[in-house]
Structure 1
Amino acid sequence: MSDVVVGPGAQIFMHFNVELTDGTVADSTRAHGKPARLTMGDGSLSGAMEVALLGMKKGEKKRFMLDPDQAFGLSNPDNVKHMDRTQFAADADLSEGTIMAFTAADGNQYPGVIRAVEGDSVTVDFNHPLAGQTVIFDVEILDVLVKES
């Protein structure tokens, strides 16, 4: 075990599972065989997630639960859009629950989840798929790197 601990500015390599409270695994770096590389304090993690990781060392494992406002946020009704069917390719899979990539005016791509199709109206939810969910993180720190000052 290394004496280097997760702290501000540290780069961490970790495996994690994100589980719902019913035990469903929503995401897993282990399943993909590719660990996550994250930098503490760069805004990619919620404050509560960073607090949970602080002080961990290489080789340590931890499970912790985060409420929606600490994890992926609450579902925002303004992020649910109604689009015309003609905006989709004729062969697009518009089944409820399908996740599609949408290109915004700025050129960036954003995932949207098909929530409903009614006539020529397609309801697309641009909230994070885990928004509004209490989640359990099961993490394993593989390595911790800190910049020498």
Structure 2
Amino acid sequence: MQQVKTGDTVRVHYHGRLQNGQTFDSSEGRDPLEFTVGAGMVIKGFDSGVLDMKPGDKKTLNIPVEEAYGPKSDEMIMDYPKANIPADLNISVGMDLQMSNPQGQVFQVKVAAIGSEFITLDANHPLAGEPLIFDIELVEIV
């Protein structure tokens, strides 16, 4: 039976959770996730975790921060002038907002704090700094 190797396109079902057991994503009730191994389409630890699996195989991946979304970066936290926030937008701590950079790329930020003149925005990936656990099942090698 064929085993997964770099360059293969695979389909997997998965259940992703944090170390405290909280689910953050799952393919349950959806089509399996399809990606090409080694193409950078998924996080590094997930990508390498499917290598050598055969269709029908199941396993649990314990992915360290460095092979997931990386550590939280202080460079991704910024103060933004409250005066630049639309007056009709009622911001609150924990709220997700979308911003764009000068090149027009859109990215998501989370309101981390609200001060008198500035709001603190966190542009880190929501799972940055978290080791992740995935229960996966290789459905097929396409």
Q: Deviations over 1:15-73 (max 9, x none)?
A: 22221111001122326x24322111112234433221101122222112111112110
**Alignment partner for residue 65 of structure 1, among 59, 62, 66?**
62
Where has structure 1 moved over 4 Å in runs of 4 or more? none
TM-score (norm 2): 0.87
Answer yes or no: is the 8 Å Cα contact 2:111–2:120 preserved in 1: yes
Taking the aligned partners of 1:93 and 1:12, their CA distance within structure 2 comes to 44
Tell me by how many angstroms 1:86 deviates.
Answer: 2.9
Are residue 10 (structure 1) and residue 5 (structure 2) matched?
Answer: no
Taking the aligned partners of 1:95 and 1:35, their CA distance within structure 2 comes to 36
Tell me by how many angstroms 1:93 deviates.
Answer: 4.8
Partner of 1:52: 49
TM-score (norm 1): 0.84
The residue type equivalent to 1:60 in the other structure is D
Q: Aligned-residue CA RMSD in angstroms?
A: 1.8
Percent identical pairs in the alignment equals 26
Between Structure 1 and Structure 2, how many residues are aligned?
A: 142
Taking the aligned partners of 2:15 and 2:83, their CA distance within structure 1 comes to 38
Taking the aligned partners of 2:138 and 2:113, their CA distance within structure 1 comes to 40
Could you tell me which runs of 5 or more consecutive residues in structure 2 were left unpaired when the two chains were aligned: none
